[in-house]
Chains A and B, each alone.
Chain A
Amino acid sequence: MVEGTSECDVLVVGGGGAGLRAAIAARHEGARTLLVNKGTYGKSGATVMAGADLTADGRSLRRIGFFGESRDTPEKFLLDIVHQGFNLNNQKLLEIYIRDAGDRLEELLEWGMPVERSDERSIFTSGSAISRALVRWAKSVGVEVASDVMTLELITEDDRVVGALGLDLLTGELVHFRAKAVVLASGGWHKAFYPNAGPRDLSGDGVAMAYRAGAALANMEFITFCCNVILWPPIWQGSVFAYALIMLFGGRLTNKQGDAFLEAYDPDVVRIGTSSEWNKCCVSLASQREVEEGRGSPHGGIYLDNGDIPLEVFDHRVRAVFPGWKYHAADFAPMAAMLRKGERIEVGPAVEYFEGGVAVDEGYGTSIEGLYAAGECATSPFGANRVVAATTEMLVGGAVAGSHAAQYAKCTQPTREPSVEIGRLQREILRPLESRRGVSPAEVRSQVQRLAHSHLGPIRTRDRLEELAGILDSIQKEELLALSTTSKSRCYNKEWVEALELRNIVQLLELSARAALARTESRGVHYRSDFPRTDNDHWLQEIVARKGEDRVEWTSRPVIATCLSPGSGKKPYMDMLKEMMLARSQVGGPH
């Protein structure tokens, strides 16, 4: 039944920054490398959507020729990131991030990435520019590419990965990729939520297939909700343009009654929390509280306007950075007109980044032999709250993962054909096409997305998490087995693709909901209104999930701390937030 086969040493799943950098690293080691991309090469995934800044400590930035803060050191950068991550950072991964960041940025410059400006700890470019530089280099070193192919399952033999099964979305053909090593770089699972701030390809395919193959996942409860994402009108929904406006030019957030609700919070928390990426913790939480207490906007958010900045000044500032209020092909000029009429813009928290994922070690290897992971699909060095740039992290992780995968592939023999395994996987893949009638995949997806947004958002409670986990459990046992497509064509069948994505989305949401239930404290982006304290006595632990015989096997492990020992005790979340904010070094800039 498999229509095509393809062979390589290293298979890379995902064509964003992590995947491209992993593929380049594997080629540098001489491995025959195939990059399988769900979308169009160089134009899909979250990387091209990024703003984007790339971060490194000030000293490293100065070394590669940028402004950079001269008083900054790698040690200060590390401490700041650990405070921002509420001490849950894997400090071994973090040391690698800080060690390699400068080199990864330097080579991007050599590969032709333009830079707009730099500040104390970051250089500014665009996601498309990062992607273009990587694509150009990947091409020149001979990375092979398959686009519009969704990777569905990992194939394992004797507990090691020997390839993957993919679906060519355009033809509907199943493709067997035989590989000695696999690097997962498939990004987050934004599609599990509505609204969300991600592109449509991110349905957690890599994380879920790794879980099904037996890999350990960790930190699944930590999900960043970007604040001030546009909720209405629908043409702008999910855009972070409003987030950029308020970060760059200022503005005011108000609730239904017109009250500037942030004024009720600690002034230090508000000052730091609105001028830096800490906003994803505290502004998202404060906004969600307004919504839940009945002071929200019609589409579940709050409002943004120019506040006490005169409109002419605000307009002038915006036009200086976004000429004509345009960002790429999106036209936000009607937003200027709305503000002029005294209307406010509906914005709110929406899912943006996943701190957890496939658990990786210092070599970006997973708990399965031959399987590596990097970028957003892997566990990160950022702990409970990502503040510095994930764009740099994807490059650092990708390079390590790709080169380790290639070295592993060199000393590995090819395996025999695992035919029984493939047959079983295939029957499940084809089921929605073969059943005559059943449940609509889009309907289930839509129901799940809305539930995830309301029950697994910036404010969590036991009742809602239990309700969500229960519904997801029953969807897995009933609806997912009864999914059926309207058309039985295998050519670009949207419902078939959605059915295959839904398995991943529902699985990851359930793991996340159950991890969030287990974590009976509030830390970073995980806030439990029924457990509103950060508990360093019990919860300096990572929660790990593995697939057991017929249920999830849950374990926890102490956080890996190499240079900074976290303190003990319990503290109200807001006090801890303030303490972490104020612990930051005196290095300037938003990071």
Chain B
Amino acid sequence: MRSWLLRRSIQAVITLAIALLLIFVLMRAAPGDPLSRLSAGRPISPREIELLRARYGLDQPLGHQLLAFTTGLLHGDLGISIEQGRPVTTLLAERLPATLLLGGSVLLLNFTFGLWLGVRQAASHGGREDRWLTTLSLTGYAMPSFWLGLVLAWLVGVEWRLLPAAGMRDPLMDADAGLVARAGDLLRHLVLPVVTLSVVSIAATMRYQRSAMLEVLRLPYIVTARAKGLSVSEVTWRHAWRNALFPVITLFGLWLPILVTGSVFVEAVFAWPGLGSLAAGAVSTRDYPLLMGASLLVATLVVLGGLLTDVAYAMLDPRVRFG
């Protein structure tokens, strides 16, 4: 197990290094000047542009720039945001909690309902319920998250006035409101973004759980359990589901990129102050150090998620680490 873990960790570090290299090359290979936005439409002299180029190291050869970026990274320095003039790491750290709250809530909702519905589908395999649930989940999967978010914000937030349509807190709330009132307010703001992201992402969870469950339901011990006279629901939930839950672990690794991508749009639509809206803002202001920092953080999360998934899987299934 130890040598397996070591090998897998080294592999993760290499993957991340390649991702870093890709991020760097992509940013520099694109036609266009990262500082063009600063010069476009603003009274700025060529001399000032020169100074800015020097400040951001853009006048150096590509190799030097990469070295400087990597050295900075190892010291926890990702550069300064062009638009906001503050360190990228500070901006990312400020926005991370809101995204973790959003992502954690989506995870909870997605997995609770996704697993339950997936098992129900497998239990009614080929039947009406199975077909309807598949069509519904695929419809959710076909929805652009920003569109669903806008429609929900308009209907629920504006037309019916049931829930707040934007932000994370009520700006008009009493300054000395109690903890319960604050939590309640946060929860109300959380509902629409979480529902939007869950609806567009639940299909993957359901599909995974359904097929894992179908594999298990074919096995002889299920037949034995039924032959012993156990009820369908008992066999489904006590015998089959426990074994079918296990492949679903791999979903965590797959699910993270979907969530991060979705949060860019959903946070932008609901003005949720997280990493996603930070990245969307960096795009519209062409703030490339911020965008690079955000992409690197996302890549790190994805690689870490994959590593943790594999470790969890190996701990539960010895065939993986010895195979």
Do the two chains belong together in a single complex? no
Residue positions of A touching B, CB distance < 8 A? none
